[in-house]
A and B are shown apart, each in its own frame.
Chain A
C-alpha cells in the first residue's frame, strides 16, 4: 500500500529564512505526489504536484519540491519564509482512486 511520512510535526523558522518540510513516500509503482497547504479554519489548497514530468516542481507562493527516487523523498522548500506562510502543510500520495495523506507539519514563522 502507498503511504507518506512527514518528518517533524512542527517547524519554526524566522522570516526570511529557508523553509524545508520533509516528506518520504512508500510506493511500489511510480508515485504521484502532492503538497497541500491549510490556513487556519480553511480547507486544503493544492500547492504543487509531481506527476513524473520533471523532478523539480514549482508551485504557488514561491514553494517548490524535488522528487528524489533514490531517497524516496519529496521535500518542500521555499528560499525565504514570509509571515503569511504560517500554516499546516500536508504531503499526499495519489493512488488510482484516492489520495493518502501524511500527518501534517505545522509551520510557524517568527518575525
Chain B
C-alpha cells in the first residue's frame, strides 16, 4: 500500500516550459486535491476532484490545468511555467473530505 505517490520530487523549469506533476493513489479514494505551499502562506488549494471526470477550481487555479480520467490518478499541468509558480506542490486524497486527507511527499518546483 503505497498511499499517495508524487513524481518527480524535484524539478527545475525554464520560464515558458510546460510540465505535468504526477499524483497517484492506491487507496480507492474519490476525493483528490492539489495544493501549493509557499512561506508564510500555508497551503493554498489549486484544484480538486470528487471523482473521475469531475474537477473544480480552488483558491489559486490560474496557470494550472487538471483532469481526472481514473480514480487513481490526478495530474497537474503547468502550461507555461512562470517564476511565480516556484513552490512546493502537494497532492492529497481522501475517502471523504470530512475524514481528513492523506498527503504525498511533495514536488519542489523551481522556475527560472
Whether the pair A44, B90 counts as a contact (CB closer than 8 A) is: yes
Q: Given known contacts A32-B98, A43-B103, A43-B105, is B40 in contact with A98 (CB within 8 Å)?
A: no
**Interface size, chain A (Cβ < 8 Å):** 24
Q: How many A-B residue pairs have CB under 8 A?
A: 62
**Once bound together, how far apart are the Cα atoms of A98 and B105, in whole Å?**
19
- On whether A99 and B41 interact (CB within 8 A), knowing A43-B106, A44-B90, the answer reads no
In the complex the two chains form, what is the Cα distance from A32 to B102 in whole Å? 16
Binds A, one of B14-22, B42-50, B68-76: B42-50
- Write 29 A-B pairs (CB below 8 A) sorted by A numbering: A32-B97, A34-B100, A43-B90, A43-B105, A44-B43, A45-B103, A46-B100, A46-B101, A49-B100, A51-B99, A90-B43, A94-B97, A95-B97, A97-B31, A97-B50, A97-B97, A98-B33, A98-B48, A99-B45, A99-B92, A99-B97, A101-B35, A101-B43, A101-B45, A103-B40, A103-B41, A103-B42, A104-B42, A104-B43
